[in-house]
Structure 1
Amino acid sequence: MGLIADILGFVFGSQRNVLRETAEVFRENAETGAVRAHEVRIAALGQFGSEFQRPAKGWFDRFMDGLNRLPRPMLALGTLALMVSALSDPVWFAARMQGLALVPEPMWWLLGVIVSFYFGARHQVKAQEFQHGLAASMARVPQAVENIAALDRLRADSPAAAATGTDAAARLQATAADANPALEAWKARRG
């Protein structure tokens, strides 16, 4: 009895399983492999998610965001106001345009550069936001494909769509060919 207990204690005792550990040398334990794969996926998703998170904004950041949103509407509304002023008081408008005609060309170039950089930077920010939105949409593609496949299985024209189980008779009845008198007449003539 002592020898058997010693052998069983050696194989299964002391919180170790020698058989399992030996088998795992040749074949991976499926459960621990799945746990490791799950941990890798969770870590990767956490890393991807951290790339798209924005830090909490304070009052100064919100104020600057609001200030950054002003130039485009101000340019559009200012242009409309110039057109209205040209129609309502052409002399006043002509005097202002004569003043603009006196602005030297390098100042116009500088204004063009400033406006180009502002709108170029804004375009880049919007393009990056678009890329983030695109990445989020692509992450939802597998779920959408599964949903579409599930909906296709529910179509009325798919065989046994209303069946609740694997009824072979219903599937054969739904896919059986209809009677074809011309084909039957042809078969009768041939044979």
Structure 2
Amino acid sequence: MGLIEKLFSLVFGSGRNVVKETAEVFRENAEAGAVRAKDVQIAAMQGFSAEFRQVGRGRFDRIMDGVNRLPRPAMALGCLGLFVSAMVHPVWFAERMAGIALVPEPLWWLLGVVVSFYFGARHQAKGQEFQRSIAGTMAQVPQVVEHIREVRALEAGATGENPALQDWKNTKNR
């Protein structure tokens, strides 16, 4: 008995599991790895959330957002207006188009660059706002999962411990 006890204390000695510790040198503990991965994910989401958090927006920012919303509808309505004016008053339309034909080509290139940069910057700002909202939502995932677990635990506990509910189920099943 003493030899077996010494052998077990050598392998599992002083409350440690030498076999487990040796295996973990060659293979990661899956549970500890999952905990570390969760901690890294939460830290990354908190970093994204802090990076994209908006502070209070002032009146100027709201006015500029409103002004930035005007060009696309104005251009779309302007194009539709040109089609209508070509049908309603062709001479007036032809005069305007003759004037546009006199615009030099470098000016058209400049207009193209300005419009491209405007819409590109707008697209980037909207994309960053979208990423900000996703980061805020993803940061709340661990809390939502925990709340779901708590609710399910409450539901399971309430169903099993309510004698009146059990009596009602028993009478209903008869």
Could you state the TM-score of these two structures normalised by the residue count of structure 1?
0.50
Q: Secondary structure at the match of 1:124?
A: helix
Aligned to 2:141: 141
Aligned to 1:35: none
RMSD: 3.5
The equivalences for 1:31-180 within 5 A come to 50-146=50-146, 163-165=159-161
Aligned to 1:183: none
Q: Secondary structure at the match of 2:160?
A: coil
Q: Distance in 2 between matches of 1:62 and 1:161?
A: 50
Q: Secondary structure at the match of 2:93?
A: helix
Q: Secondary structure at the match of 2:62?
A: helix
- 1:86 to partner: Cα distance: 1.3
Q: Which has the higher contact order (CA 8 A, sep 6+)?
A: 2
Rg (Cα) greater in structure: 1
Q: Secondary structure at the match of 2:85?
A: helix
- 1:140 to partner: Cα distance: 2.6
Structure whose residues are more often helix by fraction: 2
Could you state the TM-score of these two structures normalised by the residue count of structure 2?
0.54
Percent identity, please: 61
Q: Distance in 1 between matches of 2:116 and 2:108?
A: 12
In the alignment, residue 97 of structure 2 is paired with which amino acid? M
Runs of at least 5 residues in structure 2 that lack an aligned partner in the other structure:
1-41, 162-174
In the alignment, residue 140 of structure 1 is paired with which amino acid? Q
Q: Distance in 2 between matches of 1:61 and 1:163?
A: 53
Runs of at least 5 residues in structure 1 that lack an aligned partner in the other structure:
1-40, 155-159, 166-191
Q: Distance in 2 between matches of 1:56 and 1:153?
A: 39
Q: Distance in 1 between matches of 2:83 and 2:153?
A: 60
